[in-house]
């Protein structure tokens, strides 16, 4: 993944493939627009949170924050997700309810790591499905009246009323090329279809001159795995730490740790949505021994898949905090009002 952000990438043979992928993405969108493929619509407003590039851009923390903000407003939001990384997906019901608002009702390997985490962290309904419109229809039948489409910018089978692009990092578009030549899912110009952007503090202004809001990912504490007690970051700074994660962009987690004063003596990256089986557990045990670490640091997304692992692990708890939440929500509500929705 990091190669896609390197200045000397890609090798020449991949560039034509990137152009071809971009052509297919544009053709697919045109076919939806002209009715060759059906775009389904539900009665409730649909807010899409997505991006142009593959990998983490803080979409999940934004979905969690927005779900809680809408709940406080008295609405009944539902988060709709693809549920990447689900184990034996075809064996389980689809669409599948992960939470009705009171916590997960299925295991993380059934829900997918991110939907399970959202079910833990929010009081919103969470539904996963391969086809997101099926998830929306089910959520609406169960009482939800506001849909949050997680990772939805390229999901064309469900009508969206508001499109939010989440951008993070100093180079949110990498080398600016489309897969496999770069990290983009479609040409950079496609971002102009969005209604507004949410960017990280270190992210340059968006290139489409869209309205934008800034949000930071703040460290809220360090929690031993399986415990509700927290230790302070200042206390952890005096410990010998090693860190691991299974993220699309693990270097961002590593950078954040350094920014928070948590400097691990060793770092191990696993594939995004990694399944922590016995082989990886054994690898983590050896990793800790070689690093002579007192504690291992990891992300909440990874922690939901580590139940039963007998290792000293600290979960790095974070929360997305927009700098101007009232202005962001007012802008969102005004966009929905233009579509005929009264919030």
Domains of the chain as residue ranges with CATH: 2-215+321-338 (3.40.50), 217-319 (3.40.50)
Compute the distance between CA of residue 172 and CA of residue 170 in angstroms, rounded to an integer: 6
pLDDT at 91: 55
pTM (predicted TM-score): 0.92
Q: 133 near 88, Cβ under 8 Å?
A: no
Phi, psi for 21 (deg, rounded to 5)? -65, -40
pLDDT at 94: 81
Q: 81 near 114, Cβ under 8 Å?
A: yes
Strands 212-224 and 313-322: antiparallel
Phi, psi for 263 (deg, rounded to 5)? -110, 100
Q: What is the mean pLDDT of each run of 10 residues along the chain (343 residues)?
A: 59 81 94 94 96 85 96 96 72 84 92 93 95 96 97 94 93 87 91 95 91 93 91 89 93 92 95 87 94 96 87 94 96 96 84
pLDDT at 234: 87
Collapse the DSSP code of 139 into the 3-class scheme (helix H, G, I; strand E, B; otherwise coil) and give the result: helix
Compute the distance between CA of residue 67 and CA of residue 86 in angstroms, rounded to an integer: 22
Q: Which long-range contacts (CB under 8 A, 24 or more apart) does 281-290 make?
A: 281/309, 281/311, 284/244, 284/309, 284/311, 285/311, 287/242, 287/244, 288/242, 288/312, 290/266
Instruction: DSSP letter for 184, please.
Output: B
| Runs of H (alpha helix) within 96-237 | 108-111, 113-121, 132-141, 233-236
pLDDT at 300: 94
pLDDT at 343: 78
Phi, psi for 14 (deg, rounded to 5)? -80, -20
**What's the Cα-to-Cα distance from 54 to each of 67, 164, 180, rounded to whole Å?**
23, 16, 11
């Amino acid at each position: 993944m990091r190669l896609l952000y390197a200045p000397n990438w890609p090798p020449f043979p991949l560039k034509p493939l990137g152009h071809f992928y971009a052509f297919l993405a544009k053709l697919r969108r045109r076919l939806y627009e002209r009715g060759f493929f059906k775009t389904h619509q539900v009665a409730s407003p649909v807010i899409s949170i997505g991006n142009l590039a593959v990998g983490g851009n803080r979409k999940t923390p934004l979905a969690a924050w927005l779900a809680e903000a809408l709940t406080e407003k008295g609405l009944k939001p539902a988060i709709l997700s693809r549920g990447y990384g689900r184990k034996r997906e075809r064996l389980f019901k689809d669409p599948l309810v992960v939470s009705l608002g009171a916590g997960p009702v299925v295991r993380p390997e059934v829900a997918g790591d991110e939907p399970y985490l959202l079910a833990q962290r929010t009081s919103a309904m969470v539904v996963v499905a391969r086809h997101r419109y099926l998830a929306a229809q089910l959520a609406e039948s169960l009482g939800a009246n506001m849909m949050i489409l997680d990772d939805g910018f390229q999901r064309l089978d469900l009508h969206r009323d508001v499109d939010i692009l989440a951008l993070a990092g100093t180079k949110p578009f990498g080398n600016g090329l489309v897969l496999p030549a770069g990290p983009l899912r479609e040409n950079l110009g496609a971002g102009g279809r969005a209604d507004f952007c949410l960017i990280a503090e270190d992210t340059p202004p968006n290139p489409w001159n869209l309205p934008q809001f800034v949000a930071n990912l703040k460290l809220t504490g360090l929690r031993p795995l399986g415990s509700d007690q927290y230790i302070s970051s200042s206390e952890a700074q005096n410990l010998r730490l090693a860190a691991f994660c299974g993220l699309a962009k693990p270097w961002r987690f590593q950078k954040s740790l350094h920014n928070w004063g948590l400097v691990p003596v060793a770092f191990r990256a696993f594939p995004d949505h990694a399944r922590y089986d016995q082989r990886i557990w054994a690898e983590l045990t050896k990793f800790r021994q070689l690093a002579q670490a007192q504690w291992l640091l990891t992300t909440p997304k990874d922690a939901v898949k580590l139940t039963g692992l007998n290792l000293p692990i600290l979960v790095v708890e974070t929360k997305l905090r927009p700098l101007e939440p009232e202005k962001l929500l007012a802008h969102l509500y005004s966009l929905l009002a233009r579509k005929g929705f009264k919030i």
